[in-house]
Amino acid sequence: DFIKILRRFVPPYKRQLIISIISNLLHAIFSGVQMLFMIPILEVLFDTANEITSLMPWEFSKDVLQNNLYYYVTAVKHEYGVVVVMPFIGLLMLLTTFLKVGFAYFASHQMVGIRNNVVKDIRTQIFAKLMALPLAFYSEEKKGDVIARATGDVTEVENSIMSSIDMMFKNPIIILVSVGFMLAMSYQLTIFVFIMLPIAGWIIGKTGKSLKHKSRKSQNLMGSILGVIEESVGGLRIIKAFNAENRMAKRFEKEAEDYRLIMNKVRRRYVLAHPMSEFLGTIVIVVLVWFGAYLITGDNPTLTGAIFLAYIGIFYQIINPAKQFSTGFFNIQKGLAAMERIDKILLADNKILEQDGAIRVNSFEKCIEYKNVTFGYNEKKVLKNVSMTIEKGKMVALVGQSGSGKTTFVDLLPRFHDIQEGSILVDGKDIRDIKVHDLRGLMGNVNQEAILFNDTFYNNIAFGVGNATPEEVENAAKVANAHEFIMATEDGYQSKVGDRGGKLSGGQRQRISIARAILKNPDILILDEATSALDTESEKLVQEALENLMSSRTSIVIAHRLSTVRNADVICVFNEGEIVEQGTHDELIKNGGTYSKLHELQVR
Ligand code: ADP
Ligand code: MG
Residue nearest to atom 13 of ligand 1 (CA): 403
Work out how many domains the chain is built from and give that number.
2
* Least confident segment among 73-82, 215-224, 573-582: 73-82
Q: Which among 299, 316, 346 is the end of a domain? A: 346
Interatomic CA distance for residues 32 and 39, integer angstroms? 11
Q: From the CA of 386, which ligand is nearest?
A: 1
Q: Kindly state whether residue 253 falls inside one of the protein's structural domains.
A: no
Q: How far is the CA of 405 from the centre of ligand 1 (A)?
A: 6
Query: What integer pLDDT is reported at residue 207 of this predicted model?
Result: 63
Q: Kindly state whether residue 421 falls inside one of the protein's structural domains.
A: yes
| Band of pLDDT at residue 54, cut at 50, 70 and 90 | very low
- Based on the domain organization, do 7 and 118 belong to the same domain? yes
Q: Which among 291, 317, 346 is the end of a domain? A: 346
Q: How far is the CA of 375 from the centre of ligand 1 (A)?
A: 11
Q: From the CA of 140, which ligand is nearest?
A: 1
- Based on the domain organization, do 306 and 388 belong to the same domain? no
Helices (H) and strands (E) in the chain, counts: 25, 10
- Based on the domain organization, do 74 and 148 belong to the same domain? yes
CB-based contact 315:193 (threshold 8 Å):
yes
Where in the sequence is the domain holding 305, given as residue range(s)? 2-212+271-346
Interatomic CA distance for residues 479 and 489, integer angstroms? 18
| Band of pLDDT at residue 228, cut at 50, 70 and 90 | confident
Q: Which of 381, 382, 419 has the most ligand 1 atoms within 8 A of CB, as the residue to mutate? A: 382
pLDDT per position as a tens digit, 277-295 = 778 778 878 888 888 888 8
Interatomic CA distance for residues 144 and 506, integer angstroms? 26
Residue nearest to atom 21 of ligand 1 (CA): 377
| Band of pLDDT at residue 52, cut at 50, 70 and 90 | very low
Side-chain half-sphere CA neighbours of 163 within 13 A: 22
Interatomic CA distance for residues 201 and 528, integer angstroms? 64
Query: What integer pLDDT is reported at residue 55 of this predicted model?
Result: 44
Mean pLDDT of all residues belonging to the chain: 83
Q: Kindly state whether residue 288 falls inside one of the protein's structural domains.
A: yes
What's the per-residue H, E or C state across 240-282? Answer: HHCCCHHHHHHHHHHHHHHHHHHHHHHHHHHHHHHHHHHHHHH
Q: Kindly state whether residue 297 falls inside one of the protein's structural domains.
A: yes
- Based on the domain organization, do 323 and 387 belong to the same domain? no
Q: Which of 135, 137, 138, 377 has the most ligand 1 atoms within 8 A of CB, as the residue to mutate? A: 377
Query: What integer pLDDT is reported at residue 370 of this predicted model?
Result: 94
Interatomic CA distance for residues 36 and 165, integer angstroms? 29
Whether residue 65 is predicted with pLDDT greater than 70 in this model: the reply is: no
- Based on the domain organization, do 311 and 421 belong to the same domain? no
- The DSSP symbol for 337 reads H
* Least confident segment among 69-73, 443-447, 506-510, 593-597: 69-73
- Based on the domain organization, do 331 and 417 belong to the same domain? no
Interatomic CA distance for residues 150 and 218, integer angstroms? 15
CB-based contact 255:221 (threshold 8 Å):
yes
- Based on the domain organization, do 342 and 394 belong to the same domain? no
Q: Ligand 1: which residues within 6 Å by Cβ?
A: 139, 377, 382, 402-408
* Least confident segment among 61-65, 333-337, 450-454, 565-569: 61-65
Of the two residues 212 and 138, the one the predictor is more confident about is: 138
Whether residue 18 is predicted with pLDDT greater than 80 in this model: the reply is: yes
| Band of pLDDT at residue 267, cut at 50, 70 and 90 | confident
Q: From the CA of 578, which ligand is nearest?
A: 1
Interatomic CA distance for residues 240 and 83, integer angstroms? 77
- Based on the domain organization, do 402 and 332 belong to the same domain? no
- Based on the domain organization, do 115 and 189 belong to the same domain? yes
Q: From the CA of 417, which ligand is nearest?
A: 1
CB neighbour list of residue 74: distance below 8 Å, 6 or more residues apart: 44, 49
- Based on the domain organization, do 79 and 47 belong to the same domain? yes
Query: What integer pLDDT is reported at residue 53 of this predicted model?
Result: 45
Residue nearest to atom 18 of ligand 1 (CA): 377
ipTM over 0.90: yes
Q: Kindly state whether residue 532 falls inside one of the protein's structural domains.
A: no
Residue 282's identity, in one-letter code, is T
Whether residue 446 is predicted with pLDDT greater than 50 in this model: the reply is: yes
Which one, of 531, 575, 527, lies nearest residue 401 by Cα? 575
Residue nearest to atom 15 of ligand 1 (CA): 403
Which helix (H) or strand (E) is 336 found in, with range? helix 305-346
Interatomic CA distance for residues 510 and 514, integer angstroms? 6
- Based on the domain organization, do 407 and 328 belong to the same domain? no
Interatomic CA distance for residues 583 and 170, integer angstroms? 76
Q: Kindly state whether residue 129 falls inside one of the protein's structural domains.
A: yes
Query: What integer pLDDT is reported at residue 388 of this predicted model?
Result: 92
Q: Kindly state whether residue 131 falls inside one of the protein's structural domains.
A: yes
Position in ligand 1 atom list of the atom nearest CA 139: 23
Which one, of 322, 324, 292, lies nearest residue 306 by Cα? 292
Query: What integer pLDDT is reported at residue 533 of this predicted model?
Result: 67
Q: Which among 318, 346, 374 is the end of a domain? A: 346
Average pLDDT over residues 536-559: 80
| Band of pLDDT at residue 63, cut at 50, 70 and 90 | low
434 Rama class: left (phi>0) / alpha (psi -120 to 50) / beta = beta
Percentage of residues of the chain with pLDDT beyond 70: 89
Of the two residues 407 and 317, the one the predictor is more confident about is: 407
pLDDT per position as a tens digit, 369-392 = 999 999 998 889 999 999 999 999
Alpha-carbon separation of residue 469 from 443, 474, 512 (angstroms)? 21, 9, 17
Query: What integer pLDDT is reported at residue 352 of this predicted model?
Result: 58
Whether residue 12 is predicted with pLDDT greater than 60 in this model: the reply is: yes
Q: How far is the CA of 406 from the centre of ligand 1 (A)?
A: 8
Q: How many CB atoms lie within 10 A of CB 274?
A: 12
Whether residue 48 is predicted with pLDDT greater than 80 in this model: the reply is: no
- Based on the domain organization, do 318 and 404 belong to the same domain? no
Chain CA centroid to CA 80, Å: 66
CATH number at residue 423: 3.40.50.300
Q: Kindly state whether residue 571 falls inside one of the protein's structural domains.
A: yes
